């Protein structure tokens, strides 16, 4: 994507095992657990996770899922619905934070 071209490369890899402890999803955006963790912040910036249009897409998607969750009588009904929708894979981390781990590996 265009905006990614201008971001500085991060020295922290996406596959780094420490990633889960250093980056979290909270209130709709990704942030570093430690505010001064510049590697984590650079990776978020480099991957464009908080790019305005992506945040807008993600927020709207989570809103739709919240509505569907309210309309489903059971967790399994909801899990089945979102499991069958590959679009959810784009926002898997955000969905896990919002709704728990409903999509098996």
Tell me which residues touch other proteins (CB under 8 A). 2, 52-53, 56-57, 59-61, 63-65, 67-68, 71-73, 77, 81-82, 84-85, 87
Residues near 60 by beta carbon (within 8 Å), at least 6 away in sequence: none
When the beta carbons of 9 and 52 are compared against other proteins, the nearer one is 52
Report, in Å, the least distance between residue 85 CB and other proteins.
Answer: 6
Do residues 31 and 75 lie in contact, with contact meaning Cβ atoms separated by under 8 Å?
no
Least spacing, CB of residue 91 vs other proteins, in Å = 10
Cα–Cα dist 83/81, whole Å? 6
- Between 44 and 65, CB nearer to other proteins: 65
Q: Which is nearer to other proteins, 18 or 76 (CB)?
A: 76
- Cα 80 from Cα 25, distance rounded (Å): 23
- The answer to whether 40 and 23 are in contact (CB under 8 A) is yes
């Amino acid at each position: 994507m265009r905006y990614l071209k201008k971001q500085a490369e991060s020295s922290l890899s996406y596959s780094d095992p420490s990633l889960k402890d250093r980056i979290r999803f909270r209130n709709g955006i990704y942030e570093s657990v430690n505010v001064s963790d510049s590697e984590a912040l650079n990776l978020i910036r480099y991957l464009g996770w908080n790019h305005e249009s992506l945040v807008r897409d993600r927020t709207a998607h989570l809103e739709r899922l919240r509505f569907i969750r309210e309309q489903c009588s059971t967790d399994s009904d909801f899990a089945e619905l979102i499991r069958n929708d590959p679009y959810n894979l784009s926002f898997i981390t955000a969905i896990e934070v919002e709704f728990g781990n409903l999509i098996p590996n």
